[in-house]
Amino acid sequence: MSNSYLNTNYDLLPGSYLFSTIAKKIKEYQGTHENADIIRLGIGDVTTPLIPEVIKAMHKAVDEMAVKDTFRGYGPEQGYDFVREAIVRGEYTARGIEMDPDDIFVSDGSKCDVANIQELFSGDTRIAIPDPVYPVYLDSNVMAGRTGTLQADGHFSEVTYLASTAENNFQPDLPKNPVQLIYLCSPNNPTGTVLSRETLQKFVNYANETGAIILFDGAYNCYIQDETLPHSIFEIPGARTCAIEFRSFSKTAGFTGVRCAYTVIPHELSKLRAMWNRRQCTKFNGVNYVTQRAAEAIYTPEGWKQTQGVIKGYMDTAKVIRQELTAAGYTVFGGEHAPYIWWKIEGGEKSFDFFDRLLATCEVVGTPGSGFGPCGEGYFRLTAFGDHERTKIALKRIKEKL
Ligand code: MLT
């Protein structure tokens, strides 16, 4: 086969996907340390089992699949009405946000949706992304050839970066250059910080004035503890004419292995909504029935209560991480409205070097900040999704050995 047929944009990607790189490093360490007792606070993967209401709904749905009259084949590509309506009730109506179930597109993950949405835009669309942020936004645009080339400072030449750092209180400024697509993530992965209402309003106004589209990733919104902070971009006046929102059951309900999420495109964005619908109908056959019944179950009164209990458990772990690291004299951000703690590395050590040192001295794994963008250099992300008791052991090791 000739290489000239290949999408050479892939050659522009730096190394492997961040979490694959981390997994490889752990495997290498295990290869040389047979008895290693590694505590993984790296990838944000959940560890608490599915709630009983979800399990009950899944069992019932499986039984329905065994009976001719209730068996289901292909479902609607956009998701069954029962789950789209439950999402609107539980996530939007409950917060005083008007939303039409037809604006909800159920999918098998926000990762796929945030990576795929850029297909709706032309090759020369200019993008802005927060720095640091979840690497999928950038990587998917690199693959599509929209980013230019990687510069010595770690930035891609054609991308506008929205620095979100301690210096600006993690509230990025508007893009300095004209852009048509703006990615925002709140609570932010990796910093665990939340965009204020004022910041979001500023971006919504900018988008409406310039015709830009905001791609708002709210995968961690259920961890926001302060009810006055915005959970959804659609709480912001004017957002319906400029924003698309991504939400996931992965972190809300422990569905990282089950796979279910949704994307919200308001009917005010009718062209984009029609295009996404066309894309999904062509490339996607919907989420399986059992999973959609499972997702619906978190919105029953009992399901909601149980879900909040699991979220509280993770937030208790986040609190312990924050408290222990602070007590040990470290500077940390996040962890109050998100399951991620953003740990400042002292003394100018590079975040990948710190990863190696933490693994070697404490057998604790986290995620190097620079993997999320150049502004992440000098920081390290710990997840609160790990087992509570094991996380406490990790912190003890950090205090004693690092
Ligand atoms: C993370 O650790 O950032 C997430 O688990 C990645 C994801 O949600 O895909």
DSSP 96-147: T----GGGEEEES-HHHHHHHGGGGS-TT--EEEEES--THHHHHHHHTT-S
Residue 347, Cβ density class (10 Å: 0-12 exposed, 13-18 middle, ≥19 buried): exposed
Model pLDDT, residue 1: 75
Probe target for ligand 1 pocket from 21, 43, 113, with the most ligand atoms within 8 Å of CB: 43
Please name the residue whose Cα sits nearest to atom 5 of ligand 1: 44
**Res 16 pLDDT > 90:** no
CA atoms within 13 A on the CB side of 320: 20
Cα(368) to ligand 1 centroid in Å equals: 13
Mean pLDDT across the stretch 339-343? 98
- Which residue(s) pair with 248 in the sheet? 261
Cβ atoms < 10 Å from Cβ of 391: 25
Expressed in angstroms and rounded, the spacing between residue 45 Cα and the centre of ligand 1 is: 7
15: pLDDT strictly greater than 80: no
Provide the pLDDT confidence category of residue 14 given band limits of 50, 70 and 90.
confident
- Model confidence pLDDT, tens digit, residues 258-286: 999 999 999 999 999 999 999 999 999 99
What share of the chain in percent tops pLDDT 90?
Answer: 97
Amino acid in the structure at residue 84: R
Q: Of 382, 380, 395, which is closest to residue 349 (Cα–Cα)?
A: 380
Quote the CA–CA distance of 156 and 179 in Å, as a whole number: 14
Which residue bears the tokens 């932010």?
Answer: 188
Domains and CATH numbers, the chain: 15-49+303-401 (3.90.1150.10), 54-300 (3.40.640.10)
Shortest-distance atom of ligand 1 to CA 136: 9
Residue 53 has pLDDT above 90, yes or no: yes
pTM higher than the cut 0.85: yes
- Give the H/E segment covering residue 346: none
